[in-house]
Chain A
Amino acid sequence: MARRTPVPRIVLTSVVAWTVGLVIFFPILWMLLTSFKTELAAFSASPSFLFFHWTTENYVAVWTRSNYLEYAWNSVVISLGSTLVALAIAVPAAWSMAFSPTRRTRGILMWMLSTKMLPPVGVLVPIYLLYRDAGLLDTQLGLVIVLCLSNLPIMVWLLFNYFKDIPRDILEAARMDGATIGKEIVYILAPMAVPGIASALLLNVILAWNEAFWSLNLTSSHAAPLTAFIASYASPEGLFWAKLSAASTMAIAPILVLGWFCQKQLVRGLTFGAVK
Chain B
Amino acid sequence: MGRITLEGVTKSFDDTKVIHGADLEIEDGKFVVFVGPSGCGKTTLLRLIAGLEDVSGGRILIDGKDVTRLAPAKRGLSMVFQSYALYPHMSVRRNIAFGLKMARMPKSEIERRVAHAAGILNLTDYLDRRPGQLSGGQRQRVAIGRAIVREPKGFLFDEPLSNLDAALRVQMRLEVTRLQKQLKTTAVYVTHDQVEAMTMADEIVVLQAGRIEQVGTPLELYERPANVFVAGFIGSPRMNLFEGPVAKRNGATTLGVRPEHLRVQPGDAVVADGCEAWGGTVIQAEHLGSDTFVYVDVPGIGTLDARCTGELRVQVGDTVTLLPDMHQLHRFDAQQLAMA
Say whether A and B bind each other: yes
Whether B98 sits at the interface, judged by CB under 8 Å, is: yes
Q: Which of A160-217 contact B (CB under 8 A)?
A: 167, 169-170, 172-179, 183, 187-188, 191-192
Q: Which of B78-86, B245-253, B270-278 contacts A (4 or more CB under 8 A)?
A: B78-86
Which residues of B line the A interface, CB within 8 A?
Answer: 50, 52, 71-73, 77-79, 81-83, 85-89, 98-99, 102-103, 146, 150
If A167-B83, A169-B81 touch, does A176 touch B88 (CB 8 Å cutoff)?
Answer: no
Which residues of A line the B interface, CB within 8 A?
Answer: 167, 169-170, 172-179, 183, 187-188, 191-192
Chain B residues with CB under 8 A of A173: 79, 81, 85-87, 146
CA A210 to CA B98, docked complex, whole Å: 42
10 pairs from A and B in contact (CB 8 Å cutoff): A170-B87, A172-B81, A172-B85, A173-B146, A175-B71, A175-B72, A175-B73, A178-B99, A178-B102, A183-B102
Chain B residues with CB under 8 A of A178: 73, 99, 102-103
Name the residue in A178, A179, A191 with the highest tally of chain B Cβ atoms < 10 Å from its Cβ: A178
If A169-B81, A183-B102 touch, does A176 touch B87 (CB 8 Å cutoff)?
Answer: no
CA A267 to CA B60, docked complex, whole Å: 49
Chain A residues with CB under 8 A of B52: 172, 175-176
Chain B residues with CB under 8 A of A183: 102
CA A70 to CA B181, docked complex, whole Å: 71
Of the candidates B83, B88, B89, B99, which one forms a contact with A177 in the assembled complex, judged by CB atoms under 8 Å apart? B99
If A175-B52, A176-B73, A176-B77 touch, does A169 touch B83 (CB 8 Å cutoff)?
Answer: yes
CA A213 to CA B316, docked complex, whole Å: 86
Closest B residue to A191 by CB, please name it.
Answer: B89
Task: Check if A192 sits within 8 Å of B88, measured CB to CB.
Answer: yes
CA A19 to CA B75, docked complex, whole Å: 63
CA A174 to CA B73, docked complex, whole Å: 9
Of the candidates B73, B78, B89, which one forms a contact with A179 in the assembled complex, judged by CB atoms under 8 Å apart? B73
Return B307 CB to nearest CB of chain A, in Å: 39
